Amino acid sequence: MRIALDSAQAAADRGETPVGAVIVDPQTGEVIATGANGPIGAHDPTAHAEIVAIREAAKKLGNYRLTGLTLVVTLEPCAMCAGAISHARIGRVVFGAEDPKGGAVVHGPKFFAQPTCHWRPEVTGGVLAEEAGELLRSFFRARRKGSP
């Protein structure tokens, strides 16, 4: 989660919503890929931290299936990212802060609980949640102060 938090901070430093992700091989502890939110800079609405990390991992491994790997992300994944996680067959998702407005794992559509979801990772939430949440809150607080 510390690596994901560092990626989230890097996103914030670029003016992007501070969400970071890392994909790890739990067998070896190797970091396969990292990702940071980047839709603004990439001009790509799909450039969420999870998607960036999934793309990098798939390319690095030469396989679109990431079975057995763990995705660690600072914020509860949205529906788009949950779909990508399922399609990639990621084995475990660990997230920091819950997202009552946009989350789709424990909130909203509860994507992995739907009967149409073909692959369900193990999910652990709340890891360093306060730190991840504070990074988001302080980012948006600073943006509100800076706007007219």
* Residue 3: inside a domain: yes
pLDDT averaged over consecutive 10-residue blocks of the chain (148 residues)? 98 98 98 98 98 98 98 98 98 98 97 96 98 96 78
Asked about 50 being catalytic, the answer comes back as yes
* Residue 109: inside a domain: yes
Residue pair 82/104 in contact (Cβ under 8 Å)? The answer is yes
pTM of the predicted model over 0.85? yes
Coil vs helix vs strand at 94? strand
* Residue 45: inside a domain: yes
pLDDT of residue 143: 86
List, as residue ranges, the binding site for Zn(2+).
48, 78, 81
Domain of 16, CATH number, reads: 3.40.140.10
Residue pair 25/11 in contact (Cβ under 8 Å)? The answer is no
List, as residue ranges, the binding site.
48, 78, 81
Q: How many domains does the chain have?
A: 1
CA distances from residue 120 to 55, 89, 113, 133, 139 in whole angstroms, order as listed: 19, 8, 8, 25, 32
**CA pair distance 142, 144, nearest whole angstrom:** 5
* Residue 19: inside a domain: yes
Its domain, for residue 28, covers: 1-141
CA distances from residue 66 to 71, 76, 86, 94, 145 in whole angstroms, order as listed: 10, 19, 10, 15, 41
pLDDT of residue 145: 83
Count of CB atoms within 10 A of residue 142's CB? Answer: 11
